[in-house]
Amino acid sequence: MLKMNQINKVFRTEVVETHALRNFSLHVQEGEFVTITGPSGCGKTTFLNLAGLLETFTSGQYVLDGEDVSRLGDYQRAKVRNEKIGFIFQSFNLMPDLNLFDNVDVPLRYRGMRAAERKLRIEKALDSVGLLSRKNHLPSQLSGGQQQRVAIARALVGEPRFLLADEPTGNLDSNTASGVMELLHEINAAGTTIIMVTHDPSLATQSHRNVHILDGQVQSDNTNHVKAA
Amino acid sequence: MFLYYIRLSLLSYKRNPVLSSLMVLAIAIGVGAYMVIFTLNYVMGGDPIPHKSSQLYHVQFDYGDPAFTDFEPPPQLTYIDATALLQATVEHPRSASSKFVAVLEPPGEELRPFYVNGRGNAADFFPMFDIPFQYGGGWDRRADDTQQLVVVLSNELNERLFGGANSVGQTIVMDGLNFTVSGVLDRWSPAPKYFDVNNGAFDPMEEAYIPWSLIVGQEMRRSGNTNCWKAFEGNSFQAFLNAECAWIQFWVELNTADEHAEYLNFINNYAAEQKQLGRMPMQIEKRLYDVNEWMILNEVQPDETRILTALAAMLLAVCLLNTVGLLLSKFLGKSSEIGVRLALGAHKRSLFTQHVIEAGVIGALGGILGLGVAALGLEGIRILLGDMMTNDWMQLDLRVTFITILLAIVSTILAGMYPIWRACNINPASHLKTQ
Amino acid sequence: MEIGPIYRALMRNRLGVILIAAQIAFTLTVIVNAVYIINDRGELMARPSGTDEANLFFINNIGYGDTYNEAVVSAEDLDMIRQLPGVTAATIINAIPVSGSGSSTGMATVAGRIEGVVPTAVYTVDEQALSTLGVELVAGRDFTATDVRYRNDSIARGDNEIIITVAMAEALFPGEGMQAVGRTIYDVNQNASVIIGLVARLQAPWPQSSFVENSMLIPEVYIDNSAIYLVRTEPGQRDRLMVEVEERLAASGHSRILRNNRSLEERRAESYRIDSAMSTILVAVIGTLMFITAMGIVGLAVFSINRRRKQIGTRRALGATRPDILRYFLLENLLISTVGVVAGAVLAIAFNLFLVQNFDMSRIDWYYAPAGMVVLLILGQLAVIGPAISATRISPALATRSI
């Protein structure tokens, strides 16, 4: 599903060279729920940006869903992001002046889908996170947990092959957070691969597999036998 | 997608209403001010008769005396030369013309006698300048030759004398002479009065038109500029006519390059003959001017409009610089939204389109408001100039409306190019982590 | 607070600096030249015509019909006008100063000589001209009733006695204008004119003319059935008398047309209308530009402060006081504005040279550019003060927040 081989990412400024990832390799199978952990500055955000095709890397190979995406142009990369990847962010990143319906609509717009089909899909996605009745509300009228549910609906509406989640519960209280985690597990159970970056060790134990990154390299890769509740 | 982007633009406007309104205002003021000056230039410096301006020629001769310091050859012709050209120019439409004033005694008892501003011109004058008639028409060359007492009334004078009815065949009395009305003009008030730029290019139109030969034949009271550069020989009216006094305009219509060359040759030969007779001691560069050349030579367009054009261009530049800065602020302020859109599958081209449309929407709003600014500005100038400028010649027509909005949209998008480029090249990764 | 760090921070945002500086530069260019044009026109309009403008009005009288005798009617009319209470004096004149229309000729000191001819406006008047116009006789004598000749187009002007302005005398006899009384000059028809008096000032009818101060008064009434009566009144009586004179002339029963009953003040305003319109337009342009530029500065300042909220919070946390923050932004604006006004001063002078080359205008005085620079520096400081004050209200706690 996702194969990164010997990836290097170097940030250069006039004075220093920072190796954010060095010879980084990771394979994720279809249907897995992988958590990525590690201390600040270890390279987990860089990994996420590379995995999500938001940034390019210096060297190495990245194969996504059987397709080598290492050297794609901007247009192709955007297409891959749009069709195969769903993003969930710590701070939700909903567009404040679009209502829920329009927020979920954004990825579909870039896919050039007909209006009737979009409507059907958006309503289904909002329904699946239990917020269809509030589709005309603005994000600011919702609680944090609800906002993250909308963001999840937005990530799922394009039926991506996998979800990239960056501290999805970081801005939520523990009750709400566990609700969101539950939702993610349901999605995973339905077949979507999930990669989640977190610094919360308790969340790391709830996944199939936990990858720990240190200094831009995989330090440990453990398979969890505890299935989440 | 286009409508989607329009909707996004309006939402974005609402997000930063102050910043967005500042931009719209800046564009409105810049474009509005520019359009005021554009309209002024269009009116004062534009081609007043585009389909014929290069066929109508005014003649200038080498008048004056080199001994005078700073003496510019007067633009009009003397009686001797005007009559000579009238007689010699048979094949081409041509007209002498000058102004007169007369006391008009209206028919009936209701109206008191009043003063009219009139013009003497040859029969060809009306077709040459495409002058529209409401009733009747002009006269023929025979009427010029026989000094027939015929008159063409302006629309306004016909309104005043005959209540706007068809007055062809009626008689009016001017300076004690009985004139027969041969025609009534439709509304006609070109600005500038390109057929007479020597007597106030923006003065009101004349009210009565009579055969030019009558001005001399009946010794009508002449008005308009008269420039003399040599002493009279005697004190009679004839002495004035024979004198070196320029007071007559002379236009000829030449439709082909051959006709022009032939006529120029004739004019040059005529000037050479006159020089041999001891007249025309000056040397001028050019003797035949078409309408636009004539307006430039006679400085019809005031210096003021040219200075204001430069100032308005700078005002527009400031407004656009302002817009560049504000658009940059606005678009960079949306970095995280742009980052999210990129993550959700937008590519640069779609972001580019989105922001071009957003700039275009701001430009369009600025253009619409700019129309208001332009209308206000023109109204202001109308008030400032008062009755100096006649009629309704300064107004926002469809053409100006279209140009205003187009100028606003295009210039805003051009101003937005750099901000848009920056917006499209935002690194999404750095704007997704925090808000 | 040091300029160094501010300068280095600005160098990292050159585009923002260039945008504001360029706006300020263009604004300065326009303002300096516009103010100059306004002052120039103002001086033009402020030139006195030499007459008692506030108390003068005129009316155009045109007679018609075979029985109309202008010599008789005008004598009758002037008699009537002069006897009206409130009228100081009245004359019959061929043209009105500063009105835009009149008659001119050239006068030479040697009969028949064309070189060195002095162009002049010609006023034909009767013996009350000087007292009516209110011009000051500085040498020689005034006209008397016996000087005035009546003529029509079949009678030549012939030799005559004239009064001219000091400016014209100076043009004819450089250096000895004041001694011109008694000398003879010649018109193009070689009529000899003896100068009998000099008036301090009387402008020609054309305010834009190059010889606006050259005027010549001839005691002559030209009979062509068209006359202008010029009337001087006691202060405050003008408007009332304008109505009364016209009513009385109309009631006197001759076949005549009365036109253009105007005060000189009104006529002057019309003659200078383009100049005053130009000035008003330029004032509007200046105001608009300063507004736009100030708004641009405010807009960009708000943006740059919002972008640096965290940085400002950090500065506050590190001990910067509110005045320190305020000073930072004022100083930053001052730096940017300085770049703008220096560029603007160069541009303003270049634009002035363009105007000098293409239009009938002179160079700007040296102090215009520096004065404009100061004004725009102050404008920049005033514009940035609002956003800067809002920046001082940013809480130091922002420094510790991650979002």
C170 and C80 in a common domain: yes
Q: How many domains does chain C have?
A: 2
Q: Distance, in angstroms, between B335 CA and closest chain A CA?
A: 11
User: Distance between CA atoms of C271 and C357, rounded to whole angstroms?
Assistant: 26
**Residue C108 per-residue DSSP state:** B
- Nearest neighbour of B324 by CB, restricted to C19, C270, C402: C19
Distance in Å, alpha carbon of C137 to nearest chain B alpha carbon = 30
pLDDT beyond 70 at B434? no
Most confident residue range from A6-20, A152-166, A194-208, C102-116? A152-166
Tell whether B232 is covered by a domain: yes
Q: Tally A–B CB contacts below 8 A.
A: 78
Please give the pLDDT value at position C152.
83
Q: Does B142 touch chain A if contact means CB atoms closer than 8 Å?
A: no
Distance from the first to the final alpha carbon of chain A: 25
Which residue intervals of B16-53 are DSSP H helices?
Answer: 17-45
Within-domain flag for B298:
no
CB contact under 8 A, C30 and B380: no
Q: What is the pLDDT of residue B388?
A: 64
Contacts of B329 in chain C (CB under 8 A): 299-300, 302-303
Asked whether residue C142 falls in the same domain as residue C278, the answer is no
Query: Which of C226, C254, C282 lies at the terminal end of a domain, its last residue?
Result: C254
Do residues C42 and C75 both lie within one domain?
no
Cα(first)–Cα(last) distance of chain C, in Å? 29
Considering the domain architecture, whether residues B338 and B205 belong to the same structural domain is answered as no
**E strands in C65-117:** 87-93, 103-107
- Is the same domain home to C284 and C342? yes
Quote the radius of gyration of chain C (alpha carbons, Å). 33
Position C401 scores a pLDDT of 59
Contact C64 B175 (CB under 8 A): yes
Reference C379, options C17, C99, C12, C23; nearest CA is: C23
Q: Does the residue B290 lie in any domain?
A: no
Q: Choose the final residue of a domain: C254, C285, C306.
A: C254
Q: Is C278 helix (H, G, I), strand (E, B) or coil?
A: helix
What integer pLDDT is reported at residue C58 of this predicted model?
97
Taking an 8 Å cut-off on Cβ atoms, the answer to whether A78 and B11 are in contact is no
Give me the domain span that covers residue C285: 3-46+273-400
Strands (E), B79-113: 94-105
- Are the beta carbons of A81 and B1 separated by less than 8 Å? no
Give the amino acid at C253.
G
Q: How many Cβ atoms sit within 10 Å of the Cβ of residue C66?
A: 7
C177 & C283 share domain: no
Query: For residue C251, what are the contacts with CB-CB under 8 A and spacing of at least 6?
Result: none
Interval B332-342: pLDDT, tens: 888 888 888 98
Of the candidates A178, A156, A158, the one whose C-alpha atom is nearest the C-alpha of residue A168 is: A178
Tokens for C269?
A: 């305003």
Is 90 exceeded by the pLDDT of residue B348? no
Q: Would you write out chain C's pLDDT as a tens digit for each of its 403 residues?
A: 567 778 887 877 788 889 889 999 999 999 999 999 999 889 989 999 999 999 999 999 999 888 889 989 999 999 999 999 999 999 999 999 999 889 988 899 998 787 788 999 999 999 999 999 999 999 999 999 999 999 887 788 888 999 999 999 999 999 998 999 999 999 888 889 999 999 999 999 998 888 999 999 999 999 988 899 999 999 999 999 999 999 999 998 888 999 889 999 999 998 898 889 899 999 999 999 999 999 888 888 888 888 888 888 888 878 788 888 899 899 999 999 999 999 999 999 999 999 898 887 888 888 999 999 999 999 999 999 999 999 988 887 776 655 4
Q: How far apart are the CA of B52 and the nearest CA of chain A, in angstroms?
A: 54
Q: Is the pLDDT of residue B232 over 60?
A: yes
Q: Output the pLDDT for position B426.
A: 84
Whether residues B79 and B205 share a domain: the answer is: yes
Q: Which of C62, C120, C304, C353 to mutate to test the interface with B (most CBs of B within 10 A)?
A: C62
Indicate yes or no: CB of B235 within 8 angstroms of CB of C153.
Answer: yes
Contact B22 C299 (CB under 8 A): yes
CB atoms within 10 A of CB A173: 11
Residue B435: per-residue pLDDT:
38
Same domain, B115 and B166: yes
pLDDT at C17: 86
| Chain B nearest C-alpha distance from A106 (Å) | 7
Alpha helices in B226-290 (DSSP H): 237-242, 257-276
Query: Are B274 and B362 in a shared domain?
Result: no
Contact B231 C188 (CB under 8 A): yes
Q: Do C91 and C10 sit in the same domain of this protein? A: no
Cα–chain-centroid distance for residue C213? 15
- Tell me the pLDDT band of A39, cut-offs 50, 70 and 90: confident
Query: Given an 8 Å threshold on Cβ–Cβ distance, is A49 in contact with B339?
Result: no
Most confident of A52-56, B32-36, C236-240: C236-240
* Cβ-proximal residues to B255 (8 Å cutoff; 6+ apart), any chain: B55
Classify residue C115: in a domain, yes or no. yes
| pLDDT recorded at residue C403 | 43
pLDDT of residue C291: 92
| Enclosing domain of residue B7 | 2-48+303-431
B254 plus B352 within the same structural domain: no
Q: Calculate how close chain C gets to B412, using CA atoms only, in Å.
A: 15
- Interchain CB contact of A95 with B (< 8 Å): yes
Residue in the structure block whose two tokens are 């530069």: C25
B39 and B85 together in one domain:
no
- Residues of chain C in contact with residue B237, where contact means CB-CB under 8 angstroms, are 153
Could you give the CA distance from residue C296 to residue B26 in angstroms, rounded to a whole number?
Answer: 9
Start-end of H helices in B291-426:
291-297, 303-333, 335-343, 348-385, 398-424
Q: What is the pLDDT of residue B289?
A: 94
CB B250 within 8 A of CB B77: yes
Predicted pLDDT at A228: 45
Q: Which of A128-137, B106-115, C201-210 has the lowest mean pLDDT?
A: B106-115
Within this chain, do residues C283 and C197 fall inside the same structural domain, yes or no? no
Beta carbons of B322 and C27 less than 8 Å apart: no
pLDDT tens by residue, A70-90: 888 888 888 898 899 999 988
In this prediction, residue B49 carries a pLDDT of 86
Assign A229 a pLDDT band (cuts: 50, 70, 90).
Answer: very low
Nearest to B318 among C117, C257, C289 (CB): C289
Domain spanning A32-41+73-223, CATH architecture: 3-Layer(aba) Sandwich (3.40)
Residue B170 has pLDDT above 70, yes or no: yes
Asked if the C-beta of C21 comes within 8 angstroms of chain B's C-beta atoms, the answer is: no
User: Tokens at residue B289, please?
Assistant: 């001017």
Q: How far is the C-alpha of A97 from the C-alpha of A119, rounded, in Å? A: 19
Does one domain contain both C72 and C216?
yes
B419 and B274 in a common domain: no
Residue pLDDT, tens place only, B59-105: 999 998 877 777 788 899 999 999 999 999 989 999 999 999 999 98
Of C281, C285, C358, the CB nearest to B381: C281
Start-to-end Cα distance in chain B = 27
More confident residue, B48 or B215: B215
CB contact under 8 A, C22 and B321: yes
Report the chain B residue with the minimal C-alpha distance to residue C280.
Answer: B384
Question: What are the b/e assignments for C254-289, b being 16+ CB within 10 Å?
Answer: bbbbbeebbbbeebbebbbbbbebbbebbeebbebb
What is the domain count for chain B?
2
Alpha carbon distance A175, A161 (integer Å): 28
Q: Last residue of a domain, which of C227, C254, C281?
A: C254
B259 & B323 share domain: no
Beta bridge partners of B210: B120
More confident residue, C72 or A14: C72
Residue A4 has pLDDT above 90, yes or no: yes
Q: Is residue B73 part of a domain?
A: yes
